Structure 1
Amino acid sequence: MALVPYGDAVLPASLGRLRRPSAEFRFADRTVRLAQDWQRLGVAAVVWDAAVVLCVYLEAGHVALPGTKAVELGAGTGLVGIVAALLGANVTITDREPALEFLASNVRDNIPPSLQDAVQVSELTWGEGLESYPPGTYDLILGADIVYLEDTFPALLRTLEHLSSERTVILLSCRIRYERDQRFLTELSRSFTVEEVHYEVQGDIHIYRAMKRPERADL
């Protein structure tokens, strides 16, 4: 979500892999090769571990993807949305406008011609222009490492509310780094049931499943 450029001097040595111009993975019996551009687009243009863990979770079959209408929020390099599409979902892959050209290039390079119609790249700044997205029409909402900037939490919550119906499954893959991250989950649970469905110990990454609570009929 945040498009913050960083110089090499700022990036810790332990994260040197993020300086690489590309990252390669194997999902859905295909090689997925993604461009990275830390210096130009910052956190939006590198593959974070939470995205990889969510892709592993999807490939393991924990969610029925074929024919599913899905949307990825804050897609960055597009890894999660690309893998969801390769596994059979119809996916709208979204991010803010400055990242779209970069994101679309990764999608074009990794989605075979036979699946191009099942994927679209679209601008979505959380909380803005939501009327362009029909409310409650998605079966699945995906987000990897998008819970980290407290200023964006109210807009993210509004976006999740708008895109969800009571049948929509939300999967959020993230580290809980700070108390504010836990507060986001608390706020989310006011309108959604939230449960942890996976924990990857090595990377300290949680996957949370959320679904909108049914609205109570007036008594």
Structure 2
Amino acid sequence: MESAMQSGGDEDDIICLDESFFINDDYQLTTFKYGDEVLQLFCLQSASTDYDLTGQLVWPGAELLNNYLSNNKQILHGRSIIELGSGVGVTGILCSRFCREIVLTDHNDEVIKVLKKNIDVHSSGTVSHADSFAEKLEWGNNSQLKEILQRHPGGFDLILGADICFQHSSIPLLFDTVVQLLLFKGRGCKFLLAYVSRART
């Protein structure tokens, strides 16, 4: 914590809080079940103060998408998949049990830390069959997207997103990124988006 600044002869105390004050990294190993599939991931049980860290939780849209995918596993078999806004990776890690390759992305460095940790936990077991990668991707950031596509020149068969439309200002950037991914792969590439409205009527 830092303080002290002179202003017009009066001493005003300015309090600057370190960003770690807002970051909750008390991750707990939590069990999730989707059909016959059981996953254990590190995640938070409640949100951090910073809205930008919503990826530390598993949200209802991910539960919805994972239940759908567990009942339709055939759409994952042999596929190359990219997930946008992966958070702790619950959807991507479920997919890794069936697909050929999965790239899990998020824009927040703190969230990417726990995402990588969860990938490592599952990659060390015998359940995951896919090559799994964590990548930083801010929607609308063409240079980051270009780097990902250079590392995965075949593009992706399936683009996934779960509960990533809650911030309306980010939706145009999200869809700009989706369109670029769809055009890069061409025919056969699909975008699957799950969203659960939490608005009160």
Indicate how the Cα distance of structure 1 residues 49 and 105 shifts in structure 2: closer, same or farther if over 3 A, else same. Answer: same
- TM-score scaled by structure 1? 0.65
Unaligned runs of 5+ in 2: 1-20
Match of 2:28 in 1: 21
Residue-by-residue CA offset, 1:161-207 (whole Å, 9 max, x unaligned): 111133211110002456xxxxxxxxxxxxxxxxxxxxxxxxxxxxx
- TM-score scaled by structure 2? 0.70
Q: CA deviation at 1:25?
A: 1.2
Q: CA deviation at 1:132?
A: 1.4
Residue 133 (structure 2) pairs with residue 120 (structure 1):
yes
Out of 34, 39, 52, which is 2:48 matched to?
Answer: 39
Q: CA deviation at 1:48?
A: 0.8
Identity of aligned residues (%): 26
Letter of the aligned partner of 2:117 in structure 1?
A: S
Q: CA deviation at 1:40?
A: 7.1
Unaligned runs of 5+ in 1: 9-18, 179-219
Match of 2:85 in 1: 74
Larger radius of gyration: 2
Letter of the aligned partner of 1:59 in structure 2?
A: S
Residue 177 (structure 2) pairs with residue 156 (structure 1):
no
Q: Do the aligned partners of 2:35 and 2:71 also contact (CA within 8 Å) in 1?
A: no
Q: Do the aligned partners of 1:20 and 1:36 also contact (CA within 8 Å) in 2?
A: yes
Residue 118 (structure 2) pairs with residue 106 (structure 1):
yes
Q: Give the whole-Å Cα distance in 1 for the aligned partners of 2:129 and 2:77.
A: 15
Q: Give the whole-Å Cα distance in 2 for the aligned partners of 1:130 and 1:139.
A: 16
Aligned length: 164
Match of 1:131 in 2: 146
Residue-by-residue CA offset, 1:118-150 (whole Å, 9 max, x unaligned): 111111111112211338821000000001111
Q: Secondary structure at the match of 2:63?
A: helix
Query: Which segment drifts farther, 140-149 or 129-138?
Result: 129-138
Indicate how the Cα distance of structure 1 residues 88 and 111 shifts in structure 2: closer, same or farther if over 3 A, else same. Answer: same
Q: Secondary structure at the match of 1:137?
A: coil
Q: Do the aligned partners of 1:28 and 1:83 also contact (CA within 8 Å) in 2?
A: no
Residue 182 (structure 2) pairs with residue 171 (structure 1):
no
